[in-house]
Structure 1
Amino acid sequence: MYESFFKLSKKPFELVPDPEFIYLSGSHKKALTYLDYGIRERAGFILLTGEVGSGKTTLIRNLLKKKYERVVLAKVFNTRVNFEQLLSMINDDFGLPVSGKGKVALLHDLNEFLVQQFAAGNQPILIIDEAQNLDVDLLEEVRMLSNLESSQSKLLQIVLVGQPELRQTLATPGLLQLRQRISINCHLTALKREELPQYIEHRMRVAGNACALEFTEETLDLLYCYSRGIPRLINTIADLALLTGAPRGPGPISANVVRQAARLLGHPVAHGQQPASRRTRPVGRPVWPRSADRGAGRRCTFR
C-alpha cells in the first residue's frame, strides 16, 4: 500500500517469520551459534525460549536454511494435543502412514523409522514449537522419545521452542530427568535500544530501499518505549507508522505518527518513559526458576 511511495519492493515489517528479514542482534547471533553447535554435535535436547514476538520461529527457520547434511526433519507447531495426537503429527511429518493407528503402533513405526535412518547415516531431528503448551505429563512422554536409541547413540534429537512459561514447567520436580538431558539451553532477549536503528535499516534494505525513511532519535526512543525492543511489536508499530506517514509526504517519521500508530494498536501510552516490562523475569535474573536444577545443560542468557 505504501511500498510505491517509499520505493520498496516489498513490505519491510511483515509479521510472517521470513528468514530473509532476520536481523541478528547480539542475542540472536549467540543463540544461533549455540543452536548450530547443538545440531552439528547431535546434542540430545535443545531448548530455545523467548518472549512472544522475540524471533524464535524466525531464528529456527534461519537455522534450517543451512541445509545440514543428512538431516531428516519433523516440525510440530500445534501443541494443544494429547500424546497420541502429537505422535501422529510427528510420524506424519516424517512421512510415515498414520491413518487408523493407535499409540503403540505409532511408537513402533517411529522406532523402526529411526533405526532405518540411523543405519542410513541420517540424523532425524524433531522441532516442537509453542512447547509452552505441553503439560508435565506430555513433556515426560516427549522425554521418553529420546530413549529410542541404538547401542551406539540416541536415534532422535529434539528441539523444544517456546515462551518463558516453558521454563516454569520444566522447573517442576517431576521433570528433573528431562532438564538433565538438555545440552543446549538458550533464551532470546529483546533488542537493545542501540540495535533498533540497525534493525529498521536492515529490514528496509531487504525490502529494497535502506534509505526509504528516517526516524529521529525522539521517534526511535518512543518506538523502543512502546515496543520494549520486541521485534514483532516493532514491526506492527513501524508498519502502521509507515502507512500513516506516507500521505504526509517526504521527511522523517515523527514521534506523533509513532504515538498515533501505537495507540491505534492498543499499546499503552509511554509518556516518555519505558512502560513496565511484561517479561516474566527481570534482566539479570537466572534463566531457570530458582526451584529448578541449575546444572542442566549449557545455559546462555543473551543480552
Structure 2
Amino acid sequence: MYDSHYGLSGRPFQLTPDPQFWFDTATHRKAMAYLGYGLSQAEGFVVITGDPGAGKTTLVGHLMNTIDRERLHVVKIVTTQIGAHDLLHLVAQGLGVETAGMAKAQVLSAVEKGLHAVARTGKRTLLIVDEAQALPMQSVEELRMLSNFQAGGHALLQIFLLGQPEFRERLADPSLEQLRQRVIAIHHLEPMGAEELGPYLSHRLSVVGWNGRPDFTDEAVAAMHRWAGGSPRKVNQLAGRVLLFGAIEQIDSFSADDVETVIADLNGDTPAPAPVQAAPVMEPAAEPVIDIEPAPASIVEPAQPVVSADMVAHAARIARLEARLEEQDVALRRVLTLMVDFIENEESKVPQRGTAA
C-alpha cells in the first residue's frame, strides 16, 4: 500500500533478507573483511556471530554476490538440529555426490572423492553453515573432521560458521579445542550505530526509487534507533509500519511524534506478559489457647518457625542421601562377608604342614 503511495518500485523494509539492500555499516564492513581474509587463506574456519536480526543472512547473500564462482564452489547449509550423519549427507549432496543408504564411513569416503573432483576442476570448496548454534556437538566435531581432507598439502574444504551469540559459548567447550585452533578469524556483528540509521534508511529507500518523499527528521530517526536498538530487522519492522502509517495519514515528513505513535501501536500488538505472582507462603495455623490468662513470660515457648518449600526440599534430599548411605553400608557389609567366606574357604584348601600333598 505505502509503496504505491510514495511512488516506490518495491518494499524497502521487508523482513525477508535481500542482498540487494546490503548496507555497509561499520560492523558489517569488518565482517566482510574477515570473510575476505578467510578466503585468501583458503583453509580453516571463519566464525561470524550476531543477535537475531543482526544481518547474518544478508551478509552471506552479499558474500555470494561478490565471490568468483569460477574459482569457488559453495555449499550452503542452514541447520536445524542436524545430526552428524545427516550433515555429512547434506555436504555430499552439495558436492553432487549420491550417498543415500550409505554407512558413515562410506559417506565420508564419498565426500572426500567429491572434494577431489571439485579440486580437479580448478575450484576450491567453501562450506557455509548458517544458524550454527543449532548444531549438536557431534555435528560440530564432524565439521572439524571434514576440514582434515587435503590434497598436495592444501586443504580441500574451507568452512564459514554463522550463528547466534551462544555459538561462541559452545566453541569454548574443552572438547572443541582442536576446532578452536583452526579458527583463523572471528567477528561478532554489533548493532547499528545511531549515526548510521539515517543513511541506512535513505539507502534502502533509494534502492526502490526514492525521490526524497517521504523523509525523516533527525528526532524521528533518533526515536527509531532508541526503539530498535540498532537491530536491522527491528528497524525494518518499525520503518515499514511508519510508512504504512504515513500513507494512511498522508504524511510526507515524519516527526518523532509520528514515530512514537507507531511505536505505541507496535507495543500494543505484542503486550508484555503479566508478571508471575509468587504463591503466598502459608504459615501453620496457631495452636488454640486454653487459658484465657496470658502465660508468664518465663514459660512462653518460642514461636514455631515457618517451614518453607526450600526447607522441605532440603530435608527430603538429606533423607534420600541418608537412605542411600544405609543401602551402601549394607552392600559393603555383604561384600566384606563374601570376601571373608572366600578367603576362609581358600585357606581350608591349603594342605596343613606335615600332611601329604
Q: Identify the TM-score tier after normalising by the shorter chain.
A: 0.7 to 0.9
Alignment partners' CA distance in 2, 1:192 and 1:167: 23
Q: How many residues get paired?
A: 268
Q: Specify the code of the residue in structure 1 equivalent to 2:179.
A: L
- Show the counterpart of 1:175: 176
Task: Determine the structure 1 residue equivalent to 2:42.
Answer: 42
Match for residue 229 of structure 1? 230
Q: Distance in 2 between matches of 1:188 and 1:180?
A: 22
Q: For residues 29 and 120 of structure 1, what CA distance do their matches in structure 2 show?
A: 31
What is aligned with 1:257? 261
Query: CA–CA distance in 2 between the matches of 1:194 and 1:52?
Result: 21
In 2, Cα distance between equivalents of 1:9 and 1:141: 46
Measure, in 2, the Cα distance between the counterparts of 1:163 and 1:259. Answer: 26
**Cα pair 1:241 1:261 within 8 Å, conserved:** no
Note the residue ranges of structure 1 that are not aligned, 5 or more in a row: 269-303
Change (3 A) 1:173 1:86: same
What's the counterpart of residue 61 of structure 1? 61
Give the aligned residue type for 2:242: A
Q: Is the 8 A contact 2:55 2:232 kept in 1?
A: yes
Structure 2 counterparts to residues 24-103 of structure 1, below 5 A? 24-68=24-68, 69-103=70-104
Q: Deviations over 1:177-205 (max 9, x none)?
A: 11110012111111000100000000000
Mapped to 1, the partners of 2:271 and 2:146 lie a distance apart of: 42
- Partner amino acid for 2:224? L
- Does structure 2 retain, via aligned residues, the 8 Å contact 1:43–1:184? no
Report the 3-state secondary structure (helix = DSSP H, G, I; strand = E; otherwise coil) of the residue aligned with 2:35: helix
Q: CA deviation at 1:137?
A: 2.3
Q: Distance in 2 between matches of 1:219 and 1:258?
A: 11
- Structure showing greater radius of gyration is 2
Structure 2's unaligned 5+ residue stretches are: 273-357
| Counterpart for residue 162 of structure 1 | 163
For 1:27-54, what per-residue CA distance to the aligned partner results, in whole angstroms no more than 9, with x for missing partners? Answer: 1112112211211331311111111111
Looking at structure 1, the residues matched to 162 and 5 of structure 2 have their Cα atoms a distance apart, in angstroms, of 38
**Structure 1 segments (4+ residues) deviating >6 Å:** none
Provide the residue aligned with 1:149 in structure 2: 150
Q: How many angstroms does 1:238 deviate by?
A: 0.9
* Bigger fraction of residues in helix: 2
Cα distance between partner residues in 2 of 1:218 and 1:258: 14
Residue 210 of structure 1 deviates from its aligned partner by 4.8
Structure 1 residue 173 displacement after superposition: 1.0
2:150 is paired with a residue whose SS is coil
CA distance in 2 between counterparts of 1:215 and 1:117 reads 51
Contact 1:79 1:129 in 2 (8 A): no
Matched with 2:115 is 114
Structure 2: distance between partners of 1:267 and 1:39: 45
The alpha carbon displacement at 1:212 in A equals 2.4
Structure 1 residue identity aligned to 2:17:
P
Q: CA deviation at 1:264?
A: 4.3
- Contact 2:82/2:136, CA 8 A, preserved across alignment: no
Give % identity. 37
TM-score norm. by structure 2 comes to 0.72
Whole-angstrom distance in 2 between the partners of 1:202 and 1:236: 16
Native 8 Å contact 1:219 1:258 kept in 2: no
TM-score by length of 1: 0.84
CA RMSD in angstroms, aligned pairs only:
1.6
Q: Describe the superposition over 1:197-242 as per-residue Cα deviations: whole angstroms up to 9, x where unpaired.
A: 0000000000110512122222222211111000001001111121
Deviations 1:59-98 (A, max 9, x none): 1110111132420111101331111111111111222213
Offset, 1:130: 0.2
The CA deviation string for residues 254-293 of structure 1, in whole angstroms up to 9 with x for no partner, is 233332343245387xxxxxxxxxxxxxxxxxxxxxxxxx
Paired AA for residue 192 in structure 2: L
Deviation track 1:116-147 (CA, whole Å, cap 9, x = no partner) reads 22233210110000001113222111111111
Find the counterpart in structure 1 of residue 136 from structure 2.
Answer: 135
Equivalence for 1:293: none
Distance 1:56 1:25 in 2: 13
CA distance in 2 between counterparts of 1:229 and 1:198 reads 13
Q: Counterpart amino acid of 2:266?
A: A
Say if 2:46 and 2:186, in contact at 8 Å, map to a contact too. Answer: yes
Highest RCO, 1 vs 2 (Cα 8 Å, sep ≥ 6) = 1
